[in-house]
């Protein structure tokens, strides 16, 4: 990945970038990890997920980049796991953290079409990953992002978390959990103006991306609007490259347009 705008992401660092991607075994997270490793400004990537060490793709990538990639297991819903991840990093500072974890459906979990389908168990599961996880990740990693060089904490949200854009209804837990993620990280961005003047926190909508998360719901997607993960990752890195402390706390889509709250 050598696009000029992505080079800009690392241009104002006076040291090669230390990066963490969590959710790195997923569709978007894996593509981001691969593209970051292709960038000469990136010194090292830590790629995490709950079962990262059983991801064939991540293990192969680690074999290809033994000095620049560490693959490790971590659970974003567990603050002890995140603190252990922070303590295990190869350097004490981070320049870029990307949260690419997410949960929409599972063997016993489906996005609710009606109010009657909402359950306490599903709300808790979906909020644990999509809302509580990102702020616990920020709590664990932000102490490593307080330094004299630029830093970006980027978290994958979703346009369906926009309250003003909610025209279709449905997907109660996922929508509300993404909305909560946005509020939690926006709040952190305000605190960080004082504590982390070089940091930018970004909430990103990746578009509809062909991954395990979206696969059961791709039928209605308009022609040309389903991005393959490599394209989505390139678009997201281009947006991340425009992050500054001044626009910290924004909710921004893959094409650089701001998403209404
Ligand atoms: N795909 C889309 O169309 C789309 C649209 C809008 C927004 N998004 C957002 O984009 C992000 C990435 O989505 P994706 O499509 O790449 O999803 P994906 O392919 O399902 O990947 C999800 C990743 O999250 C990891 N993960 C899940 N629970 C975790 C936990 N508790 N702790 C640590 N890692 C966990 C998974 O690995 P393990 O299971 O091994 O932990 C996997 O690496 C999500 O936030 C999603 O909501 C996606």
pLDDT 10s digits, 39-68: 989 999 999 999 999 999 999 999 999 999
Q: What is the pLDDT of residues 177-198, one digit of tens each?
A: 999 999 999 999 999 999 999 9
DSSP, residue by residue, 62-101: HHHSTTTEEEEE--TT-HHHHHHHHHH-SSS--SEEEE--
Contact 176 CB / ligand 1 (< 6 Å): no
Considering the chain, what percentage of its residues have pLDDT values greater than 90?
90
Rounded mean pLDDT, 62-91: 97
State the distance from the centre of ligand 1 to the C-alpha of 101, rounded, in angstroms.
4
Find the domain containing 86 and state its range: 4-253
Does 142 map to a domain?
Answer: yes
- Whole-model pTM: value is 0.97
> In the 8-state DSSP scheme, what is residue 216?
G
**Is the minimum distance from the CB of 49 to ligand 1 under 6 angstroms?**
yes
Long-range contacts formed by 55-63: CB under 8 A, 24+ apart: 55/24, 55/25, 55/30, 57/25, 57/30, 58/24, 58/25, 58/30, 58/33, 61/33, 61/34, 61/37
Does residue 8 register a pLDDT over 70? no
CA 114 → CA 20, 45, 51, 208, distances in Å?
Answer: 37, 41, 32, 22
Domain total in the chain: 1
In a domain, 220, yes or no: yes
Residue 261 lies in a domain: no
Q: Of the candidates 2, 11, 80, 84, which has an alpha carbon nearest to the alpha carbon of residue 46?
A: 84
Cβ(233) – ligand 1 distance below 6 Å: no
pLDDT value, residue 1 = 44
pLDDT of residue 108: 94
Asked if residue 96 belongs to a domain, the reply is yes
Q: Assess if residue 258 is contained within a domain.
A: no
Domain containing 46 — which CATH number? 3.40.50.720
- Cβ of residue 101 lying under 6 Å from some atom of ligand 1: yes
Q: Give the tens place of pLDDT for each residue, 14-23.
A: 678 999 999 9
Q: Cα(26) to centroid of ligand 1, in Å?
A: 5
**Which tens digit of pLDDT belongs to each residue from 108-156?**
999 999 999 999 999 999 999 999 999 999 999 999 999 888 999 999 9
- If you measure from the C-alpha of residue 23 to the centroid of ligand 1, how many angstroms do you get, rounded to a whole number? 6
| pLDDT tens, residue by residue, 193-250 | 999 999 999 999 999 999 999 999 999 899 899 999 999 999 999 999 999 999 999 9
Tell whether 259 is covered by a domain.
no
Examine residue 39 and state whether it is found in any structural domain, yes or no: yes
């Amino acid at each position: 990945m050598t696009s000029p705008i992505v080079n800009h992401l690392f241009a104002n660092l006076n040291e090669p970038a230390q990066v963490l991607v969590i959710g790195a075994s997923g569709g978007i997270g894996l593509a981001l990890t691969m593209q970051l490793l292709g960038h000469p400004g990136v010194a090292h990537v830590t790629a995490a997920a709950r079962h990262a060490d059983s991801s064939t793709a991540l293990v192969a990538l680690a074999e290809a980049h033994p000095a620049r990639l560490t693959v490790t297991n971590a659970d974003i819903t567990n603050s002890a796991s995140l603190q252990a991840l922070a303590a295990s990093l190869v350097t004490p500072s981070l320049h870029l953290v990307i949260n690419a974890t997410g949960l929409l459906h599972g063997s016993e979990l489906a996005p609710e079409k009606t109010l009657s389908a909402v359950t306490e168990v599903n709300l808790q599961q979906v909020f644990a990953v999509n809302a509580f996880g990102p702020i616990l990740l920020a709590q664990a990693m932000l102490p490593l992002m307080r330094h004299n060089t630029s830093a970006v904490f980027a978290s994958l949200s979703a346009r369906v978390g926009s309250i003003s854009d909610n025209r279709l209804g449905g997907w109660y837990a996922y929508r509300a959990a993404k909305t909560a993620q946005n509020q939690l990280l926006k709040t952190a961005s305000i605190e960080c103006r004082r504590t982390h003047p070089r940091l930018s926190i970004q909430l990103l909508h990746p578009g509809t991306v062909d991954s395990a998360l979206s696969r059961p719901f791709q039928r209605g997607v308009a022609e040309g609007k389903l991005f393959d993960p490599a394209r989505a990752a390139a678009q997201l890195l281009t947006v991340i490259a425009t992050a500054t402390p001044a626009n910290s706390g924004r909710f921004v889509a893959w094409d650089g347009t701001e998403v209404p709250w």
